[in-house]
Structure 1
Amino acid sequence: MTIKMASSPPSTSSPELEEGTSQEVVLAKLWERVTKAEEYKTNGNELYNSKDIRGAIGKYHRALLFIRGLDANLQRNSLWYQLGLGVGGGVENCDGGGGGAPSLTSLPEEMQKKVATVEQGCLNNLAACILLQEDPNYKRVISYCDRVLASSPGNPKALYRKGCSLYHLKSYEEAYDCLKKAQQISKSDPNIRKYLTMAKEKMENINNAQRTMYQGMFNKSSTQSDE
């Protein structure tokens, strides 16, 4: 009589990298993450266009999660766990042998560009979504825009949305400078021109009020008699 052994349940932990795993396998898994991120971004855009702002925000966050850790130099061990390839104690020291991650230390240029495009698009769109909310978190908008501007200083959408947020936070001079940069890139954008005019008016009102205050202080002191 043959006794059949019960098969063990599948492991839920990330498998260790098998000996001989090639860079092609790693690149394929990386491309899967980028493609999935692009899909979530596209879904977010569709929800945004249909005015489902909350749903769009969720999709953009999901897209960013899929490309988290995909930086140009691949120095994050956690990424290998995310890919289900195990960790070899530092990517830069791995040679592709058993128990270690392949010696892939940089993303292909095409992948870097796609990751940057997805990330910038999601961050910019998240900023746009927040600005449409009933009680916008302007500081968060600025944070998202700053992340875009760190890699793309001339991004007009990020400059505009940051400028709008600075305006609503009453940082009029900073808002004006930011919006002025945006206008130099998108000269015909009516929204940029509108907020630029509003920021300029606020700055002029503040300057006029300060001038009046100082003038009043001067007139008061000049009429006082010497002791």
Structure 2
Amino acid sequence: MTQRLALIAAPLLLLAACGPADKKTETAAAPPAAEAPKSGPVAVAVTPYADGPLRVRADGVGPITAATAFDQPTIAALFPKAVVKSAFIHVGEGPPGPIITVEQDNVPLLEIGKGTEGGIAEIRLAGGPVEGPKGEALLGKWADLGFDIGQCRAGEGRTVNQTVCVRPEAPTVAYVFGVPGWTKGGLPPVETLKAKGQLNEFVWRPAETAAVGAA
């Protein structure tokens, strides 16, 4: 090999020995793992009232509980076959208070009163296929329902001249008994209650606002 060719070949051999230039390999970032859905409140289905017995329980009336809003659309959704209206009622001193009435098959079922905090304060039931916690029916006899006079008191306000009784196991439910012709106020004698007392109305209140014997 001549000296000129040797000078040209030497740099080429050096380049071949170095090999191809290093290339940076870009690796695509892996997508972040999908987050597990956060657990939230579980919706509990409530079955609207259609017909048949409407049960008054310690924790509510039919589909209504202490958590139910005092709201006409809400009550209408729970009683889809009924006529649900907003109204006002004047009881005692002060301005009239808002109520919601529920009527089905031309029979008044419920009168729902509003509390000072905006929720349901009470529900009065004086007609229709209503049943108490033990299956008691309206117009049932005081003597047949197993009350002791110590569980009863004289009614006041809307229940004046009536007898209000409460069972210890269901303090949120008041039983309002009437004695035909009784206008003396106070509690009638036990003998009179046994002979003439009949169940005229149930009154349910949420546990937070219920008072033993209140109606």
Which TM-score applies when normalising by structure 2? 0.26
* Structure number with bigger Rg: 2
Higher relative contact order (CA 8 A, sep 6+): 2
Greater helix content: 1
Q: TM-score, normalised by structure 1?
A: 0.25
